Amino acid sequence: MSLELKINDDIKAAMLARDAKRLEAIRAVKAALLLEKTKEGFSGEVSEESELKILQKLVKQRRESADIYLNAQRDDLAQKELYDVSVIETYLPQQLSEAEVTELIKKIVIQTGATSIKDMGKVMGAASKELAGKADNKMISGIVKTLLAI
């Protein structure tokens, strides 16, 4: 089932359940996908890779907003953003643990022949492709820095 169909089904289910919070979060995802579809010069369907990038962007935006709200002592708004994150993450593939990501990055470091922090770009490029949608880029970057600094 495509993401768009799943989102439409989830919107209907949230409407029937009268779950306004969930409905709002799902509609935000649908709006982001529609924006991508109607972008100038775009034709056809949104690729699965683009869908993942959009979802990750939405999650990142909401986490950053929640941090800002928490720093401003606005727990009510932060909780709403974190709830939205939990809803959006249901559409993302299962995230890998830090240990699993570390093992995969170790293999990538060996494959690319990286020896110092100067090779971080090579490693990050390969890691970002292989771990797209499966891990947060911030975590990947931190692990790469740690491994190359040794």
The CATH number assigned to the domain holding 111 equals 1.10.10.410
Same domain flag for 74 and 30: yes
Segment 31-59 mean pLDDT: 83
Look up tokens 């990501």; give the residue: 101
What does the alpha-carbon distance between residue 70 and residue 9 come to, in Å, rounded to a whole number? 33
Same domain flag for 78 and 115: no
Contact 101, 139 (CB under 8 A): yes
Same domain flag for 75 and 28: yes
Q: Quick one: pLDDT at residue 123? A: 83
Query: Cα–Cα distances in Å, from 136 out to 17, 40, 48?
Result: 32, 29, 17
Segment 14-18 mean pLDDT: 95
Which carries the bigger pLDDT value, residue 150 or residue 22? 22
Same domain flag for 69 and 126: no
Q: Quick one: pLDDT at residue 19? A: 92
Same domain flag for 54 and 80: yes
Same domain flag for 77 and 35: yes
Q: Quick one: pLDDT at residue 65? A: 95
Tell me phi and psi for residue 39, to 5 degrees: -65, 145
Same domain flag for 44 and 76: yes
| pTM, 2 dp | 0.75
Kindly indicate the confidence band of residue 1, based on its pLDDT and cuts at 50, 70 and 90: low
Q: Quick one: pLDDT at residue 140? A: 85
The predicted-structure confidence for 47-90, as pLDDT tens digits, reads as follows 888 888 888 899 999 999 999 999 999 999 999 999 999 999 89
The predicted-structure confidence for 101-136, as pLDDT tens digits, reads as follows 888 888 888 888 877 788 788 888 888 888 877 777
Structural domain boundaries enclosing 68? 3-91
The CATH number assigned to the domain holding 54 equals 1.10.1510.10
Domain end, chosen from 91, 121, 139, is at 91
**H or E element that contains 22:** helix 20-37
**In the chain, how many domains are there?**
2
Domain end, chosen from 50, 69, 91, is at 91
Same domain flag for 12 and 51: yes
Domain end, chosen from 74, 91, 108, is at 91
Q: Quick one: pLDDT at residue 82? A: 94
